[in-house]
């Protein structure tokens, strides 16, 4: 985790490197000629009004199930995707409307590491050539200096200079991910977005890559946005954690807040799904069933309410909760749940309505 101490003159915290406000990314859904002619336009609301801040030198994790919008958020704030709406400020510079040449200096300072490094490596070029390419694109170095930089980075991440001439298919998954790290580091960025960087690796290799990621952050004074579905991985590297569901943030806080005092039922369910050392699962929380909602037609009220094991009443299905500070915790801990209002005693003794009762409540609230 980060130990960077660079601060502003008005705040004890490090400066804000990235600030996203009310960011939305909607994808048009082409449902055929009939729908286009008769007003059937629909959009996939992959990210639907998200605020996100990354301070200099820190690691912010984004977690959630597949389809929660976490990867889309990462690609949007790093400007691999054009936002549908909202503001994206990188190092005091609004970049949400940038394109083409305007984005070029941002591309150098914000790098992306994909789950599958093969997707970022040209199979017809050696890995050394792929890593060196950005140095030429951004006019950073050429000739012998370029290759010396690349060779030094290879050694920095645990590769050998002899592997500069290897092709991607000749390397193992762990080695390719190290090459991906080299490719991200070669432009000397300020922010790296990691999108499930260790999910395809076995546990031993995961630990090695995570340790390497932590060390590189300290050595190169980097900020990270770390996307993962695996909370155990996120806990090892993140200072703060954002929990996403159906395109929205449902809870955020420090790693300690999320793991020791989770307030949203969805966060509790994610934690409940973490396997224990003995092969079992946590027994003090309730199992999450059902499927994530439609991204084209999300439920009214709280988007989690159709699956929520702690469903209260018509307020859940009729009123959308906003992020509120969790009483007793630091200012970073917020959750969007109607359970923040009732007392802990009520929460502990509450019995959710039956399926039939829930359907009646949802119908009466217009869902």
pLDDT tens-digit readout, 119-170 = 778 899 999 999 999 998 898 988 889 999 999 999 999 999 999 999 999 9
| CATH for 16-31+42-238, options being 1.10.10.10, 3.40.50.300, 3.40.50.2300, 3.30.930.10 | 3.40.50.300
pLDDT for 90 equals 97
pLDDT digit string (tens) for the chain, length 367 residues: 544 444 444 456 789 999 999 999 999 886 555 455 555 568 999 999 999 999 999 999 999 999 999 999 999 999 999 999 999 999 999 999 999 899 999 999 999 998 887 877 889 999 999 999 999 889 898 888 999 999 999 999 999 999 999 999 999 989 999 999 999 999 999 999 999 999 888 888 999 999 999 999 999 999 999 999 999 899 999 999 999 999 999 999 999 999 999 999 999 999 988 876 555 555 455 567 778 898 898 999 999 999 998 888 888 989 999 999 998 888 899 999 998 877 767 777 777 777 777 777 777 765 5
Note the pLDDT of residue 282: 53
Give the whole-angstrom CA distance, residue 226 versus residue 234.
Answer: 7
3-state secondary structure string, 108-130?
A: HHEEEECCCHHHHCCCCCCHHHH
| In the chain, where the domains are located | 16-31+42-238, 266-364
- For residue 116, the model assigns a pLDDT of 83
Q: Where are the alpha helices (DSSP H) in 142-189?
A: 143-156, 173-185
**Interior angle at CA 56, CA 50 and CA 62, nearest 5:** 35
- Burial readout 96-125 (b: 16 or more C-beta within 10 A, e: otherwise): bebeeeeeeebbbbbbbbbbbbbebbeeee
User: ∠ CA(71), CA(72), CA(75), 5° rounding?
Assistant: 85
The pLDDT assigned to 284 comes to 52
At what angle are helices 173-185 and 127-137 packed, to 10 degrees?
A: 10
Three-state SS at 42: strand
């Amino acid at each position: 985790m980060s130990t960077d101490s660079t601060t502003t003159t008005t705040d004890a915290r490090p400066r804000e490197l990235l600030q996203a406000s009310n960011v939305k990314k909607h994808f048009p859904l082409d449902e055929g000629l009939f729908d286009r002619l008769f007003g059937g336009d629909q959009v996939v609301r992959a990210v639907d009004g998200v605020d996100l801040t990354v301070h200099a030198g820190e690691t912010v994790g984004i977690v959630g199930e597949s389809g929660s919008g976490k990867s889309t958020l990462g690609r949007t704030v790093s400007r691999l995707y054009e936002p549908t709406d909202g503001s994206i400020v990188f190092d005091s510079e609004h970049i949400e409307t940038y394109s083409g040449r305007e984005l070029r200096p941002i591309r150098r300072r914000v790098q992306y590491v994909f789950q599958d490094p093969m997707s970022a490596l040209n199979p017809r070029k050696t890995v050394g050539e792929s890593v060196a390419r950005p140095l030429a694109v951004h006019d950073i170095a050429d000739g012998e200096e370029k290759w010396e930089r690349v060779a030094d980075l290879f050694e920095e991440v645990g590769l050998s200079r002899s592997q500069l001439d290897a092709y991607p298919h000749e390397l193992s998954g762990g080695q390719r991910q190290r090459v991906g790290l080299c490719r991200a580091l070669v432009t000397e960025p300020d922010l790296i977005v990691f999108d499930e960087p260790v999910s395809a690796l076995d546990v031993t290799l995961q630990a090695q890559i995570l340790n390497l990621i932590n060390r590189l952050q300290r050595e190169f004074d980097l900020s990270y946005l770390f996307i993962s579905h695996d909370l155990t991985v996120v806990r090892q590297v993140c200072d703060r954690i954002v929990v996403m569901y159906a395109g929205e943030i449902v809870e955020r806080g420090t790693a300690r807040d999320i793991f020791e005092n989770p307030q949203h039922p969805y966060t509790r369910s994610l934690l409940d799904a973490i396997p224990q050392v003995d092969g079992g699962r946590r027994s003090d929380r309730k199992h999450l069933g059902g499927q994530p909602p439609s991204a084209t037609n999300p439920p009214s009220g709280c988007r989690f309410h159709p699956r929520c094991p702690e469903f209260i009443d018509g307020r859940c299905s009729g009123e959308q909760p906003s992020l509120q500070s969790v009483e007793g915790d630091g200012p970073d801990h917020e959750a969007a749940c109607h359970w923040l209002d009732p007392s802990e005693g009520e929460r502990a003794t509450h019995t959710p309505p039956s399926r039939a009762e829930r359907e009646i409540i949802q119908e009466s609230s217009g869902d």
